[in-house]
């Protein structure tokens, strides 16, 4: 019995050792995105290359702080975020290393850092979702309509600390008028009555159930809801499209290589796959996001990119003016 006991211990240590080696060989990603948006693409990459990937998921800001504090002791090989502002913040803090131009030249220059320290992978639009059974939403055509007093208690928005909320407000600050945005935020605060949501999916659900009339979301949440509930009484509104409209706010999810990664070759293989036609098609088909790569079509369900007007705001501005937006949000005491 002692022999088998010792053998069990030896086998356990061997398994733990093998697991440690496997973990050391794997790429580690600090991911600020929900796993459901990333795992399908990562799984395909691993199957294709044999390179394993470990996702450490949390808020992008927290992960950036973690990268900065860890310095050259970090285990992170890559940083993934759903916000161009967070990606550019990492660039400004010197946390990333440049990606070879031949890898990322297939991505539009506005969807990557000027020095290629991060590259966009997929894009999303800020849109409105309205309940088709409600009569008072027929003329809603602008995000600023959500501040209309007639919608008091009838709007659904995420909390103001949400990255997409901050990014969207930053775009509106740049594309419209600061004081108009200030009045809009005050209206949102009044109309929400302090009742805000922690997820875009919950915003869509609240509108679809009739508990709310209109909501502000990232476009793909609308389509993900319809996949589950094809008969949901909701429609998508592409806001601010008239002659005087500022256009739709865009944001990009992207990836960067950690400055202190010792697996640069493997990291670049992952990025090469993510920006490849196969990787980009997966973002389009699985998530209903807009591919960042030029020439890769979006899913047929969603509006073609050239069918609507987008706000003329560079992605780098989402970092450059982020603090101004946050300062205004805090000043107004947004929920």
The predicted-structure confidence for 160-208, as pLDDT tens digits, reads as follows: 999 999 999 999 999 998 999 999 999 999 999 999 999 999 999 999 9
- Asked if residue 164 and residue 87 are part of one domain, the reply reads no
- Count Cβ atoms below 10 Å from residue 17 Cβ, excluding itself: 10
pLDDT digits (tens, 9 = 90+) for 104-142: 999 999 999 999 999 999 999 999 999 999 999 999 999
Would residue 271 count as lying in a domain?
Answer: yes
- Asked if residue 138 and residue 107 are part of one domain, the reply reads no
* 40: exposed, middle or buried (Cβ count in 10 Å: 0-12, 13-18, 19+): middle
**Is a pLDDT exceeding 70 seen at residue 257?**
yes
Instruction: Look over the chain and give the mean of its residue pLDDT values, rounded to a whole number.
Output: 93
**Is a pLDDT exceeding 60 seen at residue 21?**
no
Mapping DSSP to helix (H, G, I), strand (E, B) and coil, where does residue 115 land?
coil
Nearest C-alpha neighbor of 253 from the set 164, 314, 313, 175: 164
Identify the domain containing residue 236 by its residue range.
Answer: 124-249+320-332
Nearest C-alpha neighbor of 195 from the set 166, 167, 157: 157
pLDDT digits (tens, 9 = 90+) for 295-322: 999 999 999 988 999 999 999 999 999 9
Question: When comparing pLDDT for 45 and 2, which is higher?
Answer: 45
- Asked if residue 69 and residue 82 are part of one domain, the reply reads yes
- Asked if residue 163 and residue 235 are part of one domain, the reply reads yes
- Going by C-beta distance under 8 Å and a sequence separation of 6 or more, which residues neighbour residue 65? none
pLDDT range class, residue 252, cuts 50, 70, 90: very high
Please state whether 78 falls in left (phi above 0), alpha (psi between -120 and 50) or beta. Answer: beta
d(CA 146, CA 203): 14
Task: Provide the pLDDT for residue 25.
Answer: 86
Decide: 129 and 114 in contact? Cβ < 8 Å.
no
d(CA 298, CA 287): 10
- Asked if residue 145 and residue 61 are part of one domain, the reply reads no
Would residue 86 count as lying in a domain?
Answer: yes
Decide: 287 and 223 in contact? Cβ < 8 Å.
no
pLDDT digits (tens, 9 = 90+) for 70-112: 999 999 999 999 999 999 999 999 999 999 999 999 999 999 9
- Count Cβ atoms below 10 Å from residue 11 Cβ, excluding itself: 10
Would residue 191 count as lying in a domain?
Answer: yes
Q: What is the number of helices (H) and of strands (E) in the chain? A: 13, 10
Would residue 78 count as lying in a domain?
Answer: yes
Range list of H helices, the chain: 2-25, 35-49, 60-70, 84-92, 101-104, 163-175, 178-192, 200-208, 219-228, 264-274, 277-287, 317-320, 322-332
**Is a pLDDT exceeding 60 seen at residue 2?**
no
Decide: 59 and 286 in contact? Cβ < 8 Å.
no
Q: How many angstroms separate the Cα of 230 from the Cα of each of 201, 208, 211, 233?
A: 15, 11, 18, 9
- Asked if residue 137 and residue 42 are part of one domain, the reply reads no
Quickly tell me which residue has 């991505």 as its tokens: 107
For residue 237, give the H/E element and its range. Answer: strand 234-237
Q: What is the CATH number of the domain that holds 175?
A: 3.40.190.10
What letter does residue 96 receive in the DSSP assignment?
E
- Asked if residue 34 and residue 89 are part of one domain, the reply reads yes
Query: Tokens representing 330?
Result: 């805090």
**21-35, 56-70, 272-286: range with lowest mean pLDDT:** 21-35
Would residue 315 count as lying in a domain?
Answer: no
Would residue 324 count as lying in a domain?
Answer: yes
pLDDT range class, residue 3, cuts 50, 70, 90: very low
Number of folded domains that form the chain: 2
- Going by C-beta distance under 8 Å and a sequence separation of 6 or more, which residues neighbour residue 243? none
Decide: 284 and 290 in contact? Cβ < 8 Å.
yes
- Asked if residue 210 and residue 63 are part of one domain, the reply reads no
What letter does residue 120 receive in the DSSP assignment?
E
- Asked if residue 95 and residue 12 are part of one domain, the reply reads yes
């Amino acid at each position: 019995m002692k022999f088998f006991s010792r053998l069990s211990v030896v086998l356990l240590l061997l398994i733990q050792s093998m697991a440690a080696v496997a973990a050391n060989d794997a790429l580690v990603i600090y991911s600020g995105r929900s796993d459901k948006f990333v795992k399908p693409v990562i799984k395909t990459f691993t199957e294709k290359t044999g390179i394993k990937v470990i996702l450490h998921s949390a808020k992008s800001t927290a992960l950036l702080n973690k990268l900065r504090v860890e310095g050259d002791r970090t285990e992170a090989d890559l940083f993934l975020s759903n916000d161009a502002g967070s990606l550019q913040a990492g660039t400004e803090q010197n946390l990333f290393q440049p990606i070879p131009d031949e890898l990322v030249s297939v991505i539009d220059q506005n969807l990557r850092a000027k020095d290629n320290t991060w590259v966009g992978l997929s894009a999303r639009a800020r849109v409105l979702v309205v309940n088709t059974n409600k009569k008072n939403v027929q003329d809603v055509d602008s995000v600023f309509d959500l501040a209309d007093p007639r919608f008091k208690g009838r709007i659904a928005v995420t909390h103001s600390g949400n990255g997409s909320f901050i990014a969207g407000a930053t775009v509106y600050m740049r594309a419209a008028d600061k004081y108009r945005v200030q009045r809009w935020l005050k209206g949102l605060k009044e109309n929400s009555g302090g009742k805000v949501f922690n997820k875009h999916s919950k915003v869509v659900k609240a509108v679809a159930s009739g508990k709310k009339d209109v909501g502000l979301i990232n476009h793909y949440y609308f389509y993900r809801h319809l996949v589950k509930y094809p008969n949901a009484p909701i429609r998508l509104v592409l806001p601010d499209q008239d002659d005087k409209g500022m256009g739709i706010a865009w944001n990009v999810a992207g990836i960067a290589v950690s400055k202190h990664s010792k697996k640069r070759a493997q990291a670049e293989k992952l990025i090469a796959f993510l920006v490849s036609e196969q990787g980009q098609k997966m973002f389009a088909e699985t998530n209903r996001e807009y591919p960042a790569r030029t020439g890769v079509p979006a899913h047929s369900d969603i509006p073609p990119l050239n069918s609507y007007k987008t706000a003329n705001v560079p992605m780098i501005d989402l970092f450059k003016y982020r603090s101004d937006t946050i300062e205004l949000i805090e000043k107004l005491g947004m929920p």
